[in-house]
Each structure stands twice: as structure tokens, then as C-alpha cells.
Structure 1
Amino acid sequence: MDGNVTIKTIAQKTNFSLTTVSRVLNGTSEKYRISRVTQQIVLDEAKKLGYIPNMAAKTLRSNKSHTVGLIVPSLSNPFFSIVASTVSKMLHAQGYVVLMSDSDNNEKEEKKMLQALQAQNLVGLIAIPLGERRNYELLNQGIIPTVFVDRFFPGFNFYSVSTDHYKSSFQLVQYLINRGHQKIACIQGDEKVISNTYRVQGYRDALRASDLKYYYLGGVSFTEEEGYLETKLLLQKKDRATAILALSDTILLGVLKALKEAKIAVPEEISVVSFDNSSYLDYLEVPVTSIAQPITQIAQLAVKLLLEQINDKSKSKREESEQVILLDSSLISRASVLDLRNR
């Protein structure tokens, strides 16, 4: 469409009032009880016309920034990139500018990025934090509405949305045990990250529940390199595991590389399972059994919780038991696990 698209243009096209269109595009529809049908018509027309909100004018009128910060550990991880994409699209549709930062799994970089983002007059922040809680202490004072995704720090006044990591890990190990595996090794990520802590606990408790004595835990980061090096070490053990649990798909890639170099066949000689269920798992030489997290739903819920806080500051404080919201995962069974029960 030629010329600048304004709220007036959208009002004329949809036959809604300027006030109604403005409230939908400003993200205040719920406050003024504008129907979802009306909201969708306005948003669809705005997208069709290529409407771009004038954020400077918006800020001057409301005396409030419309900028949200988003910080992720690494966009090379498919889980984090899907979260980032979903969050950005949802917030853009509501008229917000998203400033995204990739901390490259480095706590010092994360701290610098948080400081830089706080200087941008943010109205809110969505973060997938690394393991250093001190980086978020200032935000915990309630200065900026914040929602954590996938991870959290106990005692913080933030909402957090994630998979039930403990339950998922327990289920995955039990899946292996039910197929006759008694020697299951676990390659973990960063010990300081609480999602890793819960996954490891699920691994341990599943072994204990079946009275299994074999236990192997290695790894210090959610990286392909760590999966590779830890698998190399694991293969030197005399008492070799019959299955490997990789606590992320990035770790999994390193595991598979080490096994291929050692000419160890999956699943004939060793079974492999993982977390995250990245889309490429179906296209590997041997498709890998994995825990599928509801990533899109996690990101969508995080955005809704953030917008609630932005529009109603009284909702930013809740009892700790109400703050951590856990969603169920699904176990996707593929060809990477050998059934040992008939051997």
C-alpha cells in the first residue's frame, strides 16, 4: 500500500472507531473488554497493510516505553531460538519493540547485557537465565516486570514457565529401564542451572526406584563439545553403559559424533535418548528417542504473564508456590533404543 499506514487507515478499512483500533494495537483490549473477534480483525488488517507503530510518539503520549528485553543463553540451541521467535512475534503483534541479546552461555556477558538492557527504559523482560543469580538480584527488587523461561531462582519474585524437568527425566529413564537397560549413563549440562538439577534428580530417583546400582554422571555445559568429550571418557570405562541419557539435543550431537568415531552402532551396541526433541532428530541416521517440550506454549504463556504485569503492576507479586508454572512434556519414541528384555 502506498503512503504511511496509520491507525486512521486501519479504522477506515475495518469500520471500527479510532479508539477501538488504538486500544487493540496498544495491547489494552482486555482492559476495555474488546472482543477477541474484533481484536483479530484489527490485528489481521494491520499486518496486511504493513502497519508499523510509531514507538516514539507512543512513548511520548503514554510517558511509558514500549520496549521489552529478551535474553537467551544461545540462539544456536533450537529450544532457545524457538522461544525467541515466538516471544518476538507475539510482542510485535501487541505493538512492542523487542531488544534481544544472546549471552553465548557466558555469565559475564549476561551481566553486561542485563545492565545494557536496563538502561533502555524497558517496560518488561523475558529471560532464560544462566546459573548466576547475582546477575538478576537488582531486577528482583521489582524495578522491571520479569518472567523467566525454562529456569528460575528459588526465592525470586518472578514468574517462571517451564517443562516439569524432574518428571520428564524420570519418565525417560523409566522408559529405558522398562526395555531392560540397567546401566544408564547421564551426560548433563551446567550444574548451576536449575533445570539441569531437576533433570539429574529425575535420573537418580528413577535408578533408585528400580534398585539399580550403576550410576554415571558427567558433563558441565549444554554444548556439543561437552557431549563429545564426556562420551569419549565414558567409552574408556570397563563397565560400559548400555544406554546414554543426554540432557539436551546439543549434548546429544556430541555424543553421536563420539560414538560414530568409535564405530559403536546405535542402538545395536548402545542406546541413546535426549531432551528437547529438535526437528532434526527425525532425520538423523538413527532417529533418536527424546522428550518433546511444549516450547511454543511455554513462550506464549511467558508473554501473557509479562503483559499482565505490565498492564497491572499488582500482579507482579505472588506467593512463591504460585510463581513456577510447569507444563507436561511428551516422550517421542524412535529407533535409538534397543529392547534388551529378550536377550
Structure 2
Amino acid sequence: MSLYQRLTIADIAKLAGVSKTTASMVLNGRAEQYRIAASTVERVRQVAAEHHFQPSTSARLLRSRRSETLGLVIPELSNLAHALLAQTLEALCREAGFQLFIMCSNDQAELETKAVEQLLARQVDGLMLVPCSNNAKLYAKWSKRLPLVLVDRRVIDSNLPFVVTNAEEQVFTLIAQTLAQGVNEIAYFGGQVALSPSVDRLSGYQRAWQSVGKTPDANLIFHRDYQQQSGYAMMADCFKQLGRYPEAVFAASISLLEGALAFINEHDQFKVVPQHLLCFDDHRLLDYMPHPINSIVQDSAQLAQHSLSRIMALLASESIESAWIPARINWRQKPR
């Protein structure tokens, strides 16, 4: 037996001396519609406030077929880009009258499926998802259950709507500008090679080399996942392979940069570093590093706003299109 007392709307009605129907109408905002006396409305609301009572969301869901909740599934909250996305989306959803449920997949397909199933069981009105695979059929199946928008990543060869950063163009610019300074060696540290961020960022990297008539060293292109420890491992592998640090390093996420910097700090205390450090994603702490780091800044606010606006459009049975969100480069080491 529970030690906690859970009041029902019938209890509030009894305490206020009104019928259950009257209490329900008052607490669900329909008092004016049914011309309930102001004094009765005040009495019911006062009793409810004194007992910290809120109407059942389950009952409201049955009446309106809307839960006024949305779901967001991201790989992990320790990823800065996804944490900023979640924080911004939560505030926007609250302003729009929705509660946002946030769940993590740890970039594992099985956990992602469980997270989505739990959100579906809670009958969220819409779902925003950072996919961890290219399983187009699975995501298409979910999109038939509720409004679904892919965020930050798209599913390759799928027509599912997405809102992602136009990464390729800014990576191209960052690498091309670095090569223009006479650099001939840029190690590439990337995440899961099949995911769209990896495809887009690697494409920008390769295009930049092509634009100057050069070919990157395939032995200096590393892929693992976007975890910090992978950045450390790739920096270790690169150093072992060359017997030194490369001229430049491009980390395809700030978590990979953290790992690479951890290796450098552990072994050389930043006394010896690559001449150029480049990164996708940005953080203010990079302003205080002993060596300047040029980074690509994603627009988390625009990613969140465009994602939510598309969910709202789908809820209104409107058609939507995918969106590419521009990014910018934070030049801490300006090209000469």
C-alpha cells in the first residue's frame, strides 16, 4: 500500500462542496463556457491550490487526443552540441505549451529503439531524433506513428525530413584556408564513418584538398566514434605512425578534440603541438587554450527553432521540407 495520498478530482469536488462535473469544468478551463459562477470557480481553485492538485494529464489526453508533450532522443548529454540542442529545445517547447522528454541512445541502435518505444508509450505528440544509424525503414515506420523530424543528422538515402548543419561547406573553407598557408599534412579524426555528419565533414575535407590539386594522405584519415577516448586513441595512433605530431589536425567534433588534446597534454604538456588545430563545434574554453584553435560554430538556436517549427507544422497536417542550417568559423588563428 502506498504511503502517499493521491487526491482525485472527486476529492477536490467534495472539499469544495461542488459536483465532480463542476470541479472538472473549473480545473480544465471550461468554467466560462458552462457559465459557472465566479465564486464557485474561486472556491474550487483555492481548494485545488491548497492541496497542490493538478488535473490528470491522462484524462486530458483521452479527451483531446493530445498529450502536449514532445520527445527528443539524442546520443548523449555529455556531447556539447547535443546538450545545447536539448537545452534550447526544452525552452522553446515550454514556451509553445509542450513538455519535452529527453532520452539518450548512447549511439546504440538497440537503446535508441527502446527510447523511442518508451516515448511512444507515453503518447508524445511528436518526436525529434538524432539518428544513430541509417536504418531508413525503422525511422520510416516510426514516422507513420507520429510526426518525426531528424535533427543534427540525416538518414542517408531517405526522404525523412531533417534539420542539420551545412557542415560540408564550412569544413571545406576551414581546410582550404589552412592548406592555402602552405600546410601539406592535415590529419582527420572522425566518428562513425556511415553516419551523415561523418559523410558531410569528410566530404568537405576531401573537396578542400581537391580544390588545391592535392591528395590527402589516406593513412592520416582516422575513424572511430565521437567519444572523447576515440580522439585520444586516434591522436596516439597518428603520433605512433608518424613518430611526431602532424602539421595540422582536424577533429570532427569537440569531444574528439578533447581526447586529442588530452593525449598532447599527457605526453608533452602542450610544449610540442601541431602547428594548426582545427575542430568542428566550438566552446568558449577554446578561447583560453595555450595554442589557438580554429573551430566551426553550429547555430544551436536555429537547429532547435527549425526542428520545433517542423514538428508543429506536421501536427497541423502541413507539408514540410528539410533544412540546412548555416554555420560559421571562429578564426582564433587567422589565415595569413
Q: TM-score, normalised by structure 1?
A: 0.76
CA distance in 2, matches of 1:245, 1:115: 37
Q: 1:73 touches 1:103 (CA, 8 Å); kept in 2?
A: yes
Which is greater in Rg? 2
CA distance in 2, matches of 1:284, 1:135: 43
Correspondence for 2:328 among 327, 330, 334: 330
Which ranges of 4 or more aligned residues in structure 1 deviate by more than 4 Å? 264-269
Q: Which amino acid aligns with 2:224?
A: V
Correspondence for 1:282 among 275, 284, 287: 287
CA distance in 1, matches of 2:79, 2:310: 24
Correspondence for 2:119 among 105, 117, 125: 117
Correspondence for 2:239 among 222, 235, 238: 235
1:86–1:268 CA distance, 2 compared to 1 (3 A): closer
> Displacement of 1:180 after TM fit?
1.9
> Displacement of 1:68 after TM fit?
1.1
1:132–1:157 CA distance, 2 compared to 1 (3 A): closer
Q: Which amino acid aligns with 2:166?
A: D
Give 3-state SS (helix, strand or coil) of 2:66's partner: coil
Residue deviations 1:19-76, cap 9 Å, x none? Answer: 9xxxxxxxxxxxxxxxxxxxxxxxxxxxxxxxx8964454243232222111000100
Unaligned segments of structure 1, at least 5 residues: 1-6, 12-17, 20-51
* Corresponding residue for residue 147 of structure 1: 149
Q: 1:272 touches 1:288 (CA, 8 Å); kept in 2?
A: yes
State yes or no: 1:252 paired with 2:254: no
Q: 1:123 touches 1:145 (CA, 8 Å); kept in 2?
A: yes
CA RMSD of aligned residues (A): 2.9
Q: Which amino acid aligns with 1:136?
A: Y
Give 3-state SS (helix, strand or coil) of 1:236's partner: helix
> Displacement of 1:188 after TM fit?
0.4
* Corresponding residue for residue 11 of structure 2: none
Q: Which moved more, 1:278-287 or 1:261-270?
A: 261-270
Correspondence for 2:200 among 179, 198, 201: 198
Correspondence for 2:317 among 313, 320, 338: 313
CA distance in 1, matches of 2:284, 2:138: 32
Q: 2:296 touches 2:327 (CA, 8 Å); kept in 1?
A: yes
Q: Which amino acid aligns with 1:86?
A: T
CA distance in 1, matches of 2:98, 2:55: 9
Paired positions, count: 289
> Displacement of 1:193 after TM fit?
1.0
> Displacement of 1:94 after TM fit?
1.9
Q: 2:129 touches 2:148 (CA, 8 Å); kept in 1?
A: yes
CA distance in 2, matches of 1:139, 1:125: 9
> Displacement of 1:77 after TM fit?
0.7
Q: Which amino acid aligns with 1:305?
A: R
> Displacement of 1:120 after TM fit?
1.7
State yes or no: 1:162 paired with 2:164: yes
Give the share of equivalent positions with the same residue, in percent. Answer: 23
Q: 2:134 touches 2:156 (CA, 8 Å); kept in 1?
A: no
1:241–1:53 CA distance, 2 compared to 1 (3 A): farther
CA distance in 1, matches of 2:132, 2:57: 31
* Corresponding residue for residue 299 of structure 1: 304
Q: Which of structures 1 and 2 has the larger relative contact order (alpha carbons within 8 angstroms, sep 6+)? A: 1
